[in-house]
Structure 1
Amino acid sequence: MSPLLELQSVLCANTRATKGKVSAPPMAVSSSPILSLLLVSTHAKLGSSSSPSLSLINFSSRPTNRPSSSSSVVVFSYTESGQGLASKDKKLLLERYGFDADVFLSQPSSKSRRGKDRLKKGREKQDPPEEPKPPRTTHKLLQVLGGRARRKKLLSPKGMDVRPMMEVVKGAAFDILQAAGGCPASLRPGRWLDLYSGTGSVGIEALSRGCSEVHFVEMDPWVVSDVLSPNIKWTGFLDVSVIHTVRVEKFLERAEQFVGNTGPFDYISVTPPYIEVDYGILMGQISKSVLLGKDSFIVVEYPLGTDMLESCGCLVKITDRRFGRTHLAIYGPEWAQKKRRSR
């Protein structure tokens, strides 16, 4: 007798043995080589309990080391344990009739596969793929206001990724600095540090008006390569410019690593994105930095509603002006404040 027929006979016997305890469904055996279906009860062989349940075993009617043209046997078994067949019982049953239990027990059921497929499709519907962002582009809306590169157009990004200082604010800042330095026609010669430089508009204006060197600090690589660097090259200040592609906080923490022992800067401009900066922390970090000297000037652009201190380190506030929703504060040495007041 073949293993399949022997298994059928044993299962039929189990069904008769448990008659009266658990009502077993009628047994149906398909003669098709594709599928044989057995509905049996296994109470007599595999444990007992108070409530019947249904367990399912799928396996081939031939050992797994034979060619793939085998039938399938699906065994539904009712037990009173409420848990169905235990794993060890399934393994013993399969091995008894010449089947590879490890292979069959490791295969997921078609029901679980369907459930996973439905879950995957549901997640795909809930989380649609993100659309690729449009490429960033530039336009020429800015210009140099004074000095050697006056009226030269500068690139700036379209949109609000980078928010350059308004030209009216920039013009006022340089007029105040020139007057405080004692030379209304141009800036005192010196080195400029342009923090959050973006387009480089402020630093390039400083070079155009007489500064000897500018260090630009900008963290966005695209802005550096497609906006800042072309602007510096176009205005002719490539030889006196240094670009640091790094976060401002990191630059201030490791100032000597980036600029060496060249001493403090004569000018520092701070034009950050408003909502991403804590001005109290930022100005405190600048006031303690080796980049700041007793004769330095600091230009700070900040939004309406922000409280700025009356001093920054050894420097005092020279002016604080409002342009709509934008404020401009300039800190400098006490001698510059006295000179401006006298004027």
Structure 2
Amino acid sequence: MRVIAGSAKRLQLKTLDGLDTRPTTDRIKETLFNMIAPEIYDSIFLDLFSGSGGIGIEALSRGAREAVFVENSPKAMSCIKENLKFTRLEHKAVTMTRDVMTALYQLEGEKVFDFIFMDPPYDRGFEKTVLEYLADSQLVYEDTLIIVEASKETDFSYLEELGFHLLKEKVYKTNKHVFMEKAGKEEIC
């Protein structure tokens, strides 16, 4: 796994051995960032279920002002910190070694995010729990882009009832990215 573009371009990142994390492949990461690249610069990025930190590090490398990495596994967080140091991006990063819900409660009132990316363990409903929380959270504003990486089979039919608008779904061979924002945003012509 490597950084695709920006200040840390081509640097190889460490990943964890085993199946506890599934690093997003370089090809999928490149596709994702090609879709959001124009808005990344100077943004505040939240990387939930961070794994080895590849997504948040890519955001920082491409000019995000700050990224918050939330990962419950101390072993995975150690890997994230090594990757941040190796890429010389640690000065723009906040790391939180705790479960995602606890981290969200602690961040409430402290930050508002331009991007929230989550890659929870597949098919266990974690994304719905997080989205239920974010529906009424001050961490999200009307232009916050929320991106969920999930299995192809994950159902998101509940988004409208939670107050989110589905913007796009990008399906790959084994998984997908679902892009959403808070519903009711007024379009300015």
* TM-score, normalized by the shorter chain, greater than 0.5: yes
Q: Distance in 2 between matches of 1:164 and 1:307?
A: 22
Give the match for residue 74 of structure 2: 221
Give the match for residue 189 of structure 1: 42
Give the match for residue 60 of structure 2: 207
Give the match for residue 249 of structure 1: 101
**Deviations 1:241-276 (CA, angstroms, capped at 9, x unpaired):** 1100000022223333xxxx3441111101111144
Give the match for residue 60 of structure 1: none
Q: How much has 1:312 moved relative to structure 2? A: 8.3
Gaps of 5+ in 2: none
Give the match for residue 151 of structure 1: 10
Call closer, same or farther: CA 1:212–1:162 in 2, change over 3 Å: same
**Deviations 1:140-186 (CA, angstroms, capped at 9, x unpaired):** xx10011111100000012212111222221121111125x4xxxxx
> Residue 197 of structure 1 contacts residue 218 of structure 1 at CA under 8 Å; is this kept in 2?
yes
Q: Distance in 2 between matches of 1:275 and 1:247?
A: 18
Task: Pick the structure with more helix per residue.
Answer: 1
Q: Distance in 2 between matches of 1:250 and 1:192?
A: 18
> Residue 45 of structure 2 contacts residue 64 of structure 2 at CA under 8 Å; is this kept in 1?
yes
Q: Distance in 1 between matches of 2:77 and 2:35?
A: 29
> Residue 287 of structure 1 contacts residue 312 of structure 1 at CA under 8 Å; is this kept in 2?
no
Call closer, same or farther: CA 1:217–1:250 in 2, change over 3 Å: same
Call closer, same or farther: CA 1:212–1:312 in 2, change over 3 Å: farther
Q: Secondary structure at the match of 2:35?
A: helix
Q: Which residue of 260, 273, 276 maps to 2:121?
A: 273
Q: Distance in 1 between matches of 2:153 and 2:46?
A: 26
Q: Distance in 2 between matches of 1:266 and 1:215?
A: 12
1:327 maps to a residue whose letter is K
Q: How much has 1:206 moved relative to structure 2? A: 0.2
Q: How much has 1:332 moved relative to structure 2? A: 3.5
In percent, how many aligned pairs have the same letter?
Answer: 29
**Deviations 1:274-317 (CA, angstroms, capped at 9, x unpaired):** 14444332321222222111111111101121111455865522
Gaps of 5+ in 1: 1-141, 182-186
Runs of 4+ displaced beyond 6 Å:
none
> Residue 267 of structure 1 contacts residue 298 of structure 1 at CA under 8 Å; is this kept in 2?
yes
TM-score (norm 2): 0.88
> Residue 284 of structure 1 contacts residue 312 of structure 1 at CA under 8 Å; is this kept in 2?
no
Q: Secondary structure at the match of 1:254?
A: helix
Matched, 1:304 2:156: no
Call closer, same or farther: CA 1:203–1:285 in 2, change over 3 Å: same
Q: Which residue of 175, 181, 190 maps to 2:34?
A: 175
Matched, 1:166 2:19: no
Q: Distance in 2 between matches of 1:312 and 1:234?
A: 43
TM-score (norm 1): 0.50
Give the match for residue 179 of structure 2: 330
